[in-house]
Amino acid sequence: MSRSFVELPQDVLLELLKHLDVEDLINFLSLCRVIRELQLQKSLWLYALVRVREVQMQPLPLPAAASLDTLSLQELLDTLSLQKLQHTALQVNQIMKNLKSENPRPVRIRTLSVERERRLFCIPAANLAVTHGLGIVDCWDLLTCQRVAHMEIRMFLYIVTWPCLEEEGKAIFGAAIGWGTPEHLVAICIDYRDRANLSISHLISPAVQGEYSYNIHFFITTQVVGFVARSSIVSWRMDNPNNGVVKTPVDIPSIRLINFHVGT
């Protein structure tokens, strides 16, 4: 005997709806009275917001973004009201619809006071941007257009991995130091777990042996930064900075496979 979708137990419905994006969730909740009653479940809206950030890689309005950086899911359920979660979800839905439209309308236009020759990278879902020039790295709040963190390295520094690696309120970029050839590998970490006290830190590897052009494929993980050259992988483990840079010979098919999986 067939069973209607709305006849499923509420916990089963909630588990299924946790996997919907915000727009699909809002549309689904308008289907009928039984379904609409589920909108009183705070966890439904919270998981939708988490999907916006973690799956769709889109920024959330503050302070929701800051809350996700610092609190666990249970703490969020305990501290955020149902009205606040619903309001944020509706706001996000409007923003994303605008972004997807053929002629998106800017809510506001602001300008970053950045030197023209600097490169700019955005940190997905964090409302932050990173700029860097000769030995200088700055982090900017895209909502206020204010510089919120600054770091200087008295050497030629070049960010080489994009997109960045994000993990628990941190963004990690791979970089290299050297004119014409990578002389050192660098890991740059931007810690934005505390939005009021953002920080930029870095680790510099020992010297890279040999000469390589920058026309190579760099990669970064939580523990390793390196690049794939013509016949070898050059890497450095950041979890033990005293280790030297390692050159591992590999054949051409292996290089192509690694480049496909971890190349930038």
Q: Could you read off the pLDDT of 99-115 as tens digits, one per residue? A: 788 887 876 667 777 77
Record the tokens describing residue 160, joined without a space. 């080489």
121: confidence class by pLDDT, cuts 50, 70, 90: confident
Q: Could you read off the pLDDT of 124-133 as tens digits, one per residue? A: 667 888 988 8
Regarding the domain delimited by 5-100, which CATH topology (the fold level of the hierarchy) does it fall under?
Monooxygenase (1.20.1280)
Record the tokens describing residue 28, joined without a space. 């689904």
From the options 2.40.128, 2.60.40, 1.10.3470, 2.30.29, give the CATH code of 119-262. 2.40.128
Q: Could you read off the pLDDT of 194-235 as tens digits, one per residue? A: 888 999 999 999 999 888 877 778 888 888 999 888 788 899
Lowest mean pLDDT among 71-85, 104-118, 130-144: 104-118
What are the residue ranges spanned by the domains of the chain?
A: 5-100, 119-262
User: Is this model's pTM higher than 0.75 or not?
Assistant: no
Answer yes or no: is pLDDT of 149 > 90. yes
What is the pairing mode between strands 157-159 and 199-204?
Answer: unpaired
User: So what's the pLDDT on residue 55?
Assistant: 74
User: So what's the pLDDT on residue 257?
Assistant: 44
Answer yes or no: is pLDDT of 3 > 70. no
Average pLDDT over the chain reads 81
